[in-house]
Amino acid sequence: MRSLKIIFFLAFLFLGVNASFSQTSWPKAQTIRFIVPFTAGSGTDVVARLLANKLAENLETSIFVENKPGAGGTIGAAIVAKAEPNGYTFLITSSGHTVNPSLYTNLPYDTLRDFSGVTSLVELPNVMVTSPDSGYQSVKDLVTKVQATPGLKNYASAGNGSATHMNAEKFKMAAKLNANHIPYKGTPDAITDTMAGRVDWFFSPIVSALPLIKEGKLQALAVGTDKRSPVLPAVPTTAEAGVPNSSYVFWVGLFAPSKTPRKIIDHMNQSIVAVMKDPQILSQLNKLGADAMIMSPTKFDQMVKTEMDSNAVLVKESKMVVN
């Protein structure tokens, strides 16, 4: 009888422990926040919302995308850096994240120490757009006219240190242009002023500019990557258009606060890998001109460190400053 009681007691403990683990295991049907440090409608925001819908199904919970724009993405990044590392707050940001340490002297966080990479998500080409009324017939035509009027032309970005800013600076340096940088709060505002002709050009995420290009409200001169985009096959790369060494990789990635448990980071990574294999997601990304770009957390952290080092050189050589 005593032995039977011990068996029942041990069984109770086993079931209780497992029930407790099940109830406390992440994500517990709690809402997950994706902080996007750019405005709604930006390339990063579009990717975040596309991913959130399918990922919420996979994790059997809800995901809320929250825009916290400003200061080249550093305001939203700071929120995540200081968030509780419990798996319920993540940062979805762009490759500009690796530029900001070289551009801003007093960041309220350490880019390497305060974040853990989960994975890169997509490679998102930029497209160089101008107003159809601008008179620019091609990249060569624009370069010629800007070189003839040093210091009088201007170009937009979605904010200091953003991927759109980096693409523009790399192009400007490669083409040997003297033009003025006009940072906006986000991509939608930059596009609006480009269409109106208030700025001469803008390297916009394709996902944001594509509908307006198709409607004839924006003119596409070139894509900023080293290969043409399948959604704009007739548009050359900036290198093909006569400006070598001007390509730029604009990626979007997912980060967690640095002390987030590794099990949660790995779980999120594996869930994203599964979502990115979904034919519907791949089809939607293809329509946006984006390519899936998935890697392990360790490899992503290594890529961030490598890009921070190379971007530090670019910021110094191009004499980039916060406007």
| Residue 20 vs residues 13, 87, 92, 198, 238: alpha-carbon distances, Å | 10, 18, 31, 60, 57
99 three-class SS: coil
- Lowest-pLDDT choice from 9-13, 173-177, 224-228: 9-13
The yes-or-no verdict on residue 319 having pLDDT over 60 is yes
Contact at 8 Å (CB) between 156 and 129? no
pLDDT at 16: 42
Q: Report pLDDT digits (tens) over 284-312.
A: 998 888 999 999 999 999 999 999 999 99
For residue 30, the 8-state DSSP code is P
The H-assigned helical ranges of 128-196 are: 139-148, 163-175, 187-195
Confidence of residue 22 (pLDDT cuts 50, 70, 90): very low
- Beta strands at 115-123 and 251-257: parallel, antiparallel or unpaired: antiparallel
pLDDT at position 17 over 90:
no
Question: Which of 321, 175, 316, 186 has the alpha carbon at shortest distance from 238?
Answer: 175
Predicted TM-score (pTM) of this structure = 0.84
Query: What single DSSP character describes residue 260?
Result: S
* pLDDT band, very low/low/confident/very high, at 320 (cuts 50, 70, 90): confident
pLDDT category at 321 given cuts 50, 70, 90 is confident
The more confident residue out of 290 and 323 is: 290
pLDDT for 323 equals 66
Residue 224 scores a pLDDT above 50: yes
Is-cis flag, bond preceding 230, omega within 30? no
CA angle 113, 116, 122 (to 5 degrees): 130
Q: Report pLDDT digits (tens) over 73-97.
A: 999 999 999 999 999 999 999 999 9
Question: What are the residue ranges of helices labelled H in the chain?
Answer: 2-24, 43-59, 74-81, 100-103, 139-148, 163-175, 187-195, 206-214, 262-275, 279-287, 297-318
Residue type, position 129, single letter:
V
Q: 3-class SS at 101?
A: helix
Inform me whether the pLDDT recorded for 12 exceeds 60. no
Burial of 63 (0-12, 13-18, 19+ CB in 10 A): buried
DSSP state of 68: -
Strand ranges inside 26-141, DSSP E: 32-36, 63-67, 89-94, 115-123, 126-130
Average pLDDT value for residue range 251-270: 97
* 87-115 average pLDDT score: 95
Tokens found for residue 108:
């309220």
Q: Is the pLDDT of residue 24 over 60?
A: no
Q: Do residues 51 and 90 lie in contact, with contact meaning Cβ atoms separated by under 8 Å?
A: no
Confidence tier at 23 by pLDDT (50, 70, 90) = very low
Is residue 161's pLDDT more than 90?
Answer: no
Tokens representing 254 are: 């997912």
Question: What domains are defined for the chain?
Answer: 29-123+250-318 (3.40.190.150), 126-223 (3.40.190.10)
- Cα distance between residue 288 and residue 145, in whole Å: 31
Quote the CA–CA distance of 162 and 94 in Å, as a whole number: 7
